[in-house]
Structure 1
Amino acid sequence: MNTKAALLDNAETLARQRGFDGFSFADLEAAVGIRKASVHYHFPTKGDLSFALMVRYAQLFADRLDAITASHSTAAARLLAYLDLYRQALDGGRSLCLCVALSATQTALPDTTRDTLDQFHHTVTAWLEAVFRLALTDGTIAAVSDPRAEAAAALAQVEGAQIMGRAARGPAGFEAAISTLRARAL
């Protein structure tokens, strides 16, 4: 693995576990086994690091959504697979998905990172809207009325559920927070 990838991997883990403001370049220096000057070589500022993290994460998440679409034919199956992405990211209450971790510290992020985070949320909301539109025709999600509103509400519910699971230091808070959404999948 190259140094830049190792820095991104470790920074993502730390941001998801501690929050973006909860680690420093010294933490990355220790984790990767390089000098702090080498960290700065790859990422001159922590803002540059946040942007690189979010660009990489957004692409990975978009790829996962595409894989869900390709492998699940019903709206309900897609919704349940989507919920599982967030469940896995919670890591039993030890972590948050990167988008939630960065959203919590948005004011400390540069505009480029905030713009990428906004685009991430737009992409996910559009994907969820397509899922709820499919549900109107396949009937596998109960009580769908406005796919766009449903998508925005589902994203807010799942990201909020992540925070609840993290606060509870376990999956029970997450599961309780998504239970009404999960129950609608037929």
Structure 2
Amino acid sequence: MKQRAGDAGANAREAILAAARKAAQAHGYGGLNIRALADGVGIKGASIYYHFPSKADLGAAVARRYWEDSAADLDALWGETSDPLRCLHDYPDVFRKSLESENRLCLCSFMAAEYDDLPDVVKREVQAFADVHVAWLSKMLFASSVVSAGESGQRARSIYAAVAGAQLMARSRSDIALYDALIDGYRAAGLLPTLQRTLPEPGVDH
């Protein structure tokens, strides 16, 4: 069956995004090289510019797809259990997966470190990643009664920053066990809630 032109174009765009995502996770926005990406996908450089008029457009599209995929993963995590405390417990696994895949860093964390050198259109997508995670964490924290509605945003930002930081530290040492140890430390310190629910005190009516 002959492939339609539209299908071929969509496939090429997806291949470019996949290659750019891998490159950005390893080298950041600065590591997005149009010629290298074209060679890796097996197309001409001009073909990349057909889909993405500039490097900034490509970087923004990659970051946008990344946070959209991450948002879908978070929604799926909630859909699997409908238990906000379980979701909070499993949240660090979202960042662990990057380390499991060739010791890669979260793409938006990498780009955030390049913030001063990012085009505005890319900055907005990088910020959206953090916003999505903080909003989800805030929702889970409140739903699980870990904190009040007024405290959930600050706690969510702290958790997001801590988990992203643990990933960065573990990546710099190529040591995923260090990541696990840091997460355990966050739980022991009370930053990350545990699965153990508080039981009523004996003789006290609730």
Asked whether the two chains share a fold, i.e. TM above 0.5, the reply is: yes
- The Cα of 1:81 is off from its aligned counterpart by 2.5
CA contact (8 A) 2:84 2:143 kept: yes
Structure 1 unpaired stretches of 5+: none
User: What residue is the counterpart of 1:148 in the other structure?
Assistant: 153
Q: Tell me if 1:161 matches 2:166.
A: yes
- The Cα of 1:45 is off from its aligned counterpart by 1.6
Q: Deviations over 1:92-138 (max 9, x none)?
A: 662011111211112222112211222221221111011111221xx
Change beyond 3 A, Cα 1:107–1:2 = same
TM-score of the two chains, using structure 2 as the length reference? 0.80
Q: Tell me if 1:124 matches 2:133.
A: yes
- The Cα of 1:75 is off from its aligned counterpart by 2.5
Trace 1:17-96 onto structure 2 (pairs within 5 A). 17-91=26-100, 94-96=103-105
TM-score of the two chains, using structure 1 as the length reference? 0.88
CA contact (8 A) 1:50 1:109 kept: no
Q: How far apart, in 2, do the equivalents of 1:2 and 1:129 lie?
A: 37
User: What residue is the counterpart of 2:19 in the other structure?
Assistant: 10
Q: Give aligned-pair identity as a percent.
A: 34
Change beyond 3 A, Cα 1:51–1:124 = same
Structure 2 unpaired stretches of 5+: 1-9, 196-206
- The Cα of 1:16 is off from its aligned counterpart by 0.6
Larger CA Rg, structure 1 vs 2: 2
Secondary structure at the counterpart of residue 180 of structure 1: helix
Secondary structure at the counterpart of residue 34 of structure 1: coil
Change beyond 3 A, Cα 1:92–1:12 = closer
CA contact (8 A) 2:78 2:84 kept: no
Name the structure where helix makes up a greater proportion of residues.
1
Q: Which moved more, 1:88-97 or 1:61-70?
A: 88-97
Higher relative contact order (CA 8 A, sep 6+): 1
Secondary structure at the counterpart of residue 76 of structure 2: helix
Q: How far apart, in 2, do the equivalents of 1:100 and 1:93 lie?
A: 16
- The Cα of 1:176 is off from its aligned counterpart by 2.6
Counterpart amino acid of residue 7 in structure 1? I
